[in-house]
């Protein structure tokens, strides 16, 4: 049989089987990506079948899929788009990927895998799947604010993944894990990226604008794909992954300002080759290997689901997105996909990992792909459940935290304040770098330090590791204390922007909410320093000392947070009393909405930290009438909280779930502007609340 016939037969088998499985999975309302994996399993060598595709041809075609997939992702990464998404998404992505990498590396070691294999495992579990989530959102018709938050995090995750792919490619190709090797790898990568991006920015955007002016879709498509494959080949020539080159090509084309037009043309071609890519992944699944390592598959799948839900939820909440949006984001991003395959393939192709890791990664992705639609659908009920079960003081904090972050972002920062913040961040960086140098230096240079100690001090050779470890711990105390102190100073500098301190001699009414915000910011800053340090140092030292340090920090700051949350709850109750008194007085004088709003605006002057409470009156047609607050679950569904209810002849302070709303009630609602707007829309709705079962 001629090679052209073999190629045609393989292509027919792959696309035909993929078409059949994707139709079935689409009818079953399951992720079609999983259908592609099943198609690969059916035409692959591991399952006895009358149909079998040529692995070499499929692998070559799948490389095209990887290149086009990364190119399409790069088209979304113009500098303007990244700046538009904002710092919050970047911080959330950095925080959760770092935590997941640290957990992944630790689990790899606990499973008895090598350091390199554990490093690749860290990369495999860290990055969520843009492809799977995009398809899930389309299939479930999910739109709105949650999509903006999730895709914002995904964009920065993909950027992190591209750097991971580049570094792991260099490590797998022969780079070691010593500080010198890693430093050299990073310098080479930075040099390559700077050179390629600098030269590309001068030529590619101009070239693409000239091509698009010709008005020919065919010419535009051919030119864009040509740029894509040229950059992919250039990256491969310098020892990096084709995915890196294709991604950079996409981002350079996006800088032309015509990224959307090019993406529209590339999309059908990309989808076909991406389908082949997922089929090729399925072909490499060996059920026997998966069954042999089923414990690892289940453990890593659990790590991805639980770890991602917790890490993304916490990181997103700390950026001020609210409890509901944070939990929904975490449950949406609890899977791994295309980057996991690419990372596992890099290790396998270069012999850096044993052959079992690839099918294990695919099996983990398959499991988490199957659970993704269920988790997305369960996000709202889980959010409502969590909100009901949280302690009252934590509920109050969760509802108000978003308003504080909103205030920090809104208030202008003067030059002096900006300079002080920058200086504190520099001090944090220096202390973190010093701590990193002490830990890695002690681990890397113990072979040189040991003989010196033995010769100078006469220490027995067997005691040298203990002595060096104790010495490193002692030296680490100073930068650790510095990090804690600077984190508090930086937290205070940020908190004071949201709630300025009272002038000397006056009562500081904002002390309680500012204290809660300060402790939270200190926790966030400390974790953002310590968790990356743990992730970076894991290949060099055992994780136990770092984990104990992290546990101690979380315990101490957790106690401080619990106390501040209690003070905040008391502050909120006092605010509710003031609101009730003010509203009651105003309603007897003037019930005009403008007059009530002006009265509510005074509360922030008297008791700062409650945001700007808004009065929402239940009209005769309100969907919330005759519903209890537990059934309405305003806080769980919108992030806003009801501070008080004022009605004729009755005033309710900090109402409970069993309190029933009546026509004419005035609700004092606090929260971020977005949360309050959502609460108003829910209260003024047309019956949606009635669909929610009792208790929700």
- Spell out the residues 6+ positions from residue 610 whose beta carbon is closer than 8 angstroms to its own: 400, 403, 513, 572, 575, 603, 604, 643, 670
Higher pLDDT, 495 or 575: 495
Same domain, residue pair 398 and 378: no
* Mean pLDDT, rounded, for 666-674: 77
Tokens of 230: 């040229």
Residue 473 belongs to some domain of the structure: yes
Domain containing residue 594: CATH number: 3.30.70.1450
Q: What angle do CA 166, 260, 158 make, to 5 degrees?
A: 25
- In the sheet that 666-670 helps form, which strands lie side by side, from edge to edge? 614-617, 666-670, 641-647, 650-653
* Mean pLDDT, rounded, for 271-291: 81
Same domain, residue pair 372 and 256: yes
What confidence score (pLDDT) does residue 691 get?
A: 42
Residue 671 belongs to some domain of the structure: yes
Higher pLDDT, 307 or 286: 307
Q: How confident is the model at residue 693 (pLDDT cuts 50, 70, 90)?
A: very low
Nearest to 314 by CA among 524, 140, 613, 44: 524
Tokens of 70: 């990364």
pTM for the model: 0.79
Residue 458 has pLDDT above 70, yes or no: no
Same domain, residue pair 540 and 610: no
To 10 degrees, the CA torsion angle through 36, 37, 41, 46?
150
* Mean pLDDT, rounded, for 7-31: 82
User: 617 forms bridges with which residues in the sheet?
Assistant: 666
What confidence score (pLDDT) does residue 133 get?
A: 82
CA dist., res. 526 & res. 484, Å (int): 7
Neighbour-count burial of 112, counting CB atoms closer than 10 A to its CB (0-12 exposed, 13-18 middle, 19+ buried): exposed
* Mean pLDDT, rounded, for 680-684: 79
Q: Tokens 């095209």 belong to which residue?
A: 64
Give me the phi and psi of 53, to 5 degrees please.
-95, 155
667 in helix, strand or coil?
A: strand
| The 3-state secondary structure of 227-293, one letter per residue | HHHHHHHHHHHCCCCHHHHHHHHHHHHHHHHHHHHHHHHHHHHHHHHHHHHHHHHHHCCCHHHHHHC
Higher pLDDT, 457 or 665: 665
Domain boundary among 333, 351, 384: 384
Higher pLDDT, 106 or 609: 106
Residue 77 has pLDDT above 90, yes or no: no
Residue 78 belongs to some domain of the structure: yes
Highest mean pLDDT among 80-94, 290-304, 392-406, 486-500: 290-304
Same domain, residue pair 132 and 242: yes
Same domain, residue pair 550 and 684: no
**Which range (104-108, 369-373, 663-667) has the least confidence?**
663-667
172-201 pLDDT, tens digit per residue, is 776 555 666 666 767 777 788 788 888 888
8 Å CB contact between 405 and 499: no
Residue 589 has pLDDT above 60, yes or no: no
Tokens of 146: 């949650």
What confidence score (pLDDT) does residue 695 get?
A: 35
Same domain, residue pair 116 and 196: yes
Give me the phi and psi of 676, to 5 degrees please.
-65, -40
Same domain, residue pair 539 and 671: no
Nearest to 668 by CA among 567, 587, 589, 588: 587
| The 3-state secondary structure of 452-480, one letter per residue | HHHHHCCCCHHHHHHHHHHHHHHHHHHHH
Residue 14 belongs to some domain of the structure: yes
What confidence score (pLDDT) does residue 304 get?
A: 93
What confidence score (pLDDT) does residue 300 get?
A: 93
What confidence score (pLDDT) does residue 377 get?
A: 85
Q: How confident is the model at residue 610 (pLDDT cuts 50, 70, 90)?
A: low
Q: H or E segment at 668?
A: strand 666-670
Give me the phi and psi of 465, to 5 degrees please.
-60, -40
98 in helix, strand or coil?
A: helix
* Mean pLDDT, rounded, for 300-321: 90
Higher pLDDT, 630 or 591: 630
Q: How confident is the model at residue 687 (pLDDT cuts 50, 70, 90)?
A: very low
Residue 696 has pLDDT above 60, yes or no: no
CA dist., res. 302 & res. 368, Å (int): 9
Residue 567 belongs to some domain of the structure: no
- Spell out the residues 6+ positions from residue 173 whose beta carbon is closer than 8 angstroms to its own: 239, 350
547-574 pLDDT, tens digit per residue, is 777 778 778 878 888 888 878 777 777 7
Domain boundary among 334, 351, 384: 384
644 in helix, strand or coil?
A: strand
Q: If you average pLDDT over every residue of the chain, what do you get?
A: 78
* Mean pLDDT, rounded, for 613-631: 77
Residue 221 belongs to some domain of the structure: yes
Residue 505 CA, chain-centre distance (Å), reads 44
Q: H or E segment at 170?
A: helix 145-172
Terminal CA-to-CA distance of the chain, rounded, Å? 65
Domains contained in the chain, number: 3
Residue 194: count of CB within 10 angstroms of its CB: 10
Same domain, residue pair 426 and 364: no
Q: How confident is the model at residue 690 (pLDDT cuts 50, 70, 90)?
A: very low
| The 3-state secondary structure of 94-107, one letter per residue | HHHHHHHHHHHHHH
Q: Tokens 């499973």 belong to which residue?
A: 111
8 Å CB contact between 330 and 312: yes
**Which range (75-84, 319-328, 359-368, 392-401) has the least confidence?**
75-84
What confidence score (pLDDT) does residue 301 get?
A: 93
* Mean pLDDT, rounded, for 496-523: 76
> For the chain, how are helix, strand and coil distributed in percent, rounded to 5?
75, 5, 20
Domain boundary among 331, 362, 384: 384
Residue 475 has pLDDT above 50, yes or no: yes
Polymer length in residues for the chain:
696
251-269 pLDDT, tens digit per residue, is 888 888 777 788 888 888 8
* Mean pLDDT, rounded, for 23-42: 81
Same domain, residue pair 127 and 179: yes
Q: How confident is the model at residue 692 (pLDDT cuts 50, 70, 90)?
A: very low
Same domain, residue pair 217 and 90: yes
Residue 270 has pLDDT above 70, yes or no: yes
Residue 135 has pLDDT above 90, yes or no: no
Question: Would you say the C-alpha torsion 207, 212, 216, 217 has a positive or negative sign?
Answer: positive
Tokens of 455: 């010769």
Q: How confident is the model at residue 636 (pLDDT cuts 50, 70, 90)?
A: low
What confidence score (pLDDT) does residue 1 get?
A: 47
Domain containing residue 84: CATH number: 1.20.1530.20
Same domain, residue pair 518 and 654: no
Domain that residue 190 falls in: 3-384
Residue 566 belongs to some domain of the structure: no
Residue 568 belongs to some domain of the structure: no
For the chain, give the percent of residues with pLDDT over 90.
3
Same domain, residue pair 111 and 233: yes
8 Å CB contact between 70 and 266: no
Tokens of 324: 């509901």
Long-range residue pairs from 419-427, CB within 8 A, at least 24 positions apart, any chain: 420/493, 421/490, 421/493, 421/494, 424/486, 424/489, 424/490, 424/493, 425/490, 427/482, 427/486
* Mean pLDDT, rounded, for 518-528: 85
Higher pLDDT, 44 or 233: 233
């Amino acid at each position: 049989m001629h090679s052209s016939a073999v190629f045609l037969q393989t292509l027919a088998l792959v696309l035909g089987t993929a078409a059949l499985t994707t139709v079935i999975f689409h009818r079953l309302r399951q992720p079609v990506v999983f259908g592609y994996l099943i198609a690969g399993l059916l035409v692959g060598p591991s399952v006895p079948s009358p149909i079998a595709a040529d692995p070499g041809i499929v692998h070559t075609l799948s490389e095209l899929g990887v290149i086009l997939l990364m190119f399409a992702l790069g088209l979304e990464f113009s500098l303007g788009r990244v700046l538009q998404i904002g710092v919050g998404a970047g911080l959330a992505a950095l925080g959760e990927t770092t935590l997941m990498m640290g957990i992944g590396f630790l689990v790899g070691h606990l499973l008895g895998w090598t350091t390199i294999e554990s490093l690749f495992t860290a990369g495999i579990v860290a990055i969520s799947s843009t492809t799977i989530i995009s398809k899930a959102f389309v299939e479930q018709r999910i739109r709105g604010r949650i999509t903006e938050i999730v895709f914002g995090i995904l964009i920065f995750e993909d950027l992190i993944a591209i750097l991971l792919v580049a570094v792991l490619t260099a490590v797998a190709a022969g780079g070691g894990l010593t500080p010198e090797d890693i430093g050299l790898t990073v310098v080479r990568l930075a040099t390559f990226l700077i050179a390629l991006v600098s030269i590309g920015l001068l030529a590619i955007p101009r070239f693409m604008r000239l091509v698009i002016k010709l008005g020919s879709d065919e010419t535009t498509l051919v030119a864009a794909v040509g740029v894509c494959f040229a950059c992919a080949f250039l990256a491969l020539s310098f020892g990096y992954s084709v995915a890196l080159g294709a991604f950079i090509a996409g981002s350079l084309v996006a800088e032309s300002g015509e990224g959307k037009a090019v993406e529209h043309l590339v999309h059908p071609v990309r989808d076909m080759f991406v389908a082949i890519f997922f089929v090729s992944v399925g072909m490499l699944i060996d059920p026997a290997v998966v069954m042999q390592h089923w414990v690892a598959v289940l453990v890593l799948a659990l790590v991805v689901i639980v770890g991602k839900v917790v890490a993304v939820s916490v990181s997103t909440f700390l950026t001020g997105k609210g409890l509901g949006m944070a939990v929904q984001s975490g449950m949406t991003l609890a899977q791994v996909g295309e980057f996991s395959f690419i990372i596992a393939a890099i290790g396998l192709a270069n012999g850096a990992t044993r052959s079992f890791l690839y099918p294990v990664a695919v099996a983990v992705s398959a499991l988490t792909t199957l659970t993704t639609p269920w988790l997305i659908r369960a996000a709202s009920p889980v959010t409502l459940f969590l909100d009901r079960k949280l302690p009252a003081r934590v509920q109050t904090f969760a509802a108000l935290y978003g308003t504080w972050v909103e205030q920090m972002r809104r208030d202008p920062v003067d030059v002096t304040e900006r300079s002080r913040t920058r200086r504190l961040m520099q001090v944090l960086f220096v202390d973190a770098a010093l701590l990193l140098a002490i830990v890695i230096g002690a681990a890397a240079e113990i072979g040189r330090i040991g003989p010196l100690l033995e010769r100078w001090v006469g220490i027995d050779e067997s005691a040298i590791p203990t002595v060096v470890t104790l010495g490193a711990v002692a030296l680490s105390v100073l930068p650790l204390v510095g990090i804690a102190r600077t984190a508090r100073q930086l937290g205070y500098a940020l908190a004071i922007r949201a709630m300025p301190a009272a002038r000397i001699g006056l009562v500081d009414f904002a002390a309680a909410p500012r204290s809660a915000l300060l402790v939270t910011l200190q926790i966030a800053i400390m974790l953002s320093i310590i968790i990356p340090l743990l992730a970076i140092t894991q290949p060099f030292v055992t994780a136990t000392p770092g984990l104990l340090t992290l546990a101690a920090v979380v315990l101490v700051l957790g106690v401080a947070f619990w106390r501040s949350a209690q003070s905040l709850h008391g502050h909120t109750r006092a605010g509710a009393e003031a609101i009730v008194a003010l509203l009651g007085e105003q309603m007897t004088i003037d019930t005009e909405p403008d007059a009530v709003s002006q009265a509510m605006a005074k509360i922030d002057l008297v008791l700062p930290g409650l945001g700007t409470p808004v009065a929402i009156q239940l009209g005769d047609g309100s969907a919330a009438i005759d519903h209890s607050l537990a059934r309405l679950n305003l806080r769980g569904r919108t992030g806003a909280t009801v501070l008080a209810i004022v009605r004729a002849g009755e005033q309710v302070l900090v109402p409970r779930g069993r309190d029933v709303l009546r026509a004419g009630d005035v609700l004092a609602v606090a929260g971020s502007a977005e949360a309050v707007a959502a609460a108003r829309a829910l209260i003024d709705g047309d019956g949606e609340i009635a669909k929610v079962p009792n208790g929700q």
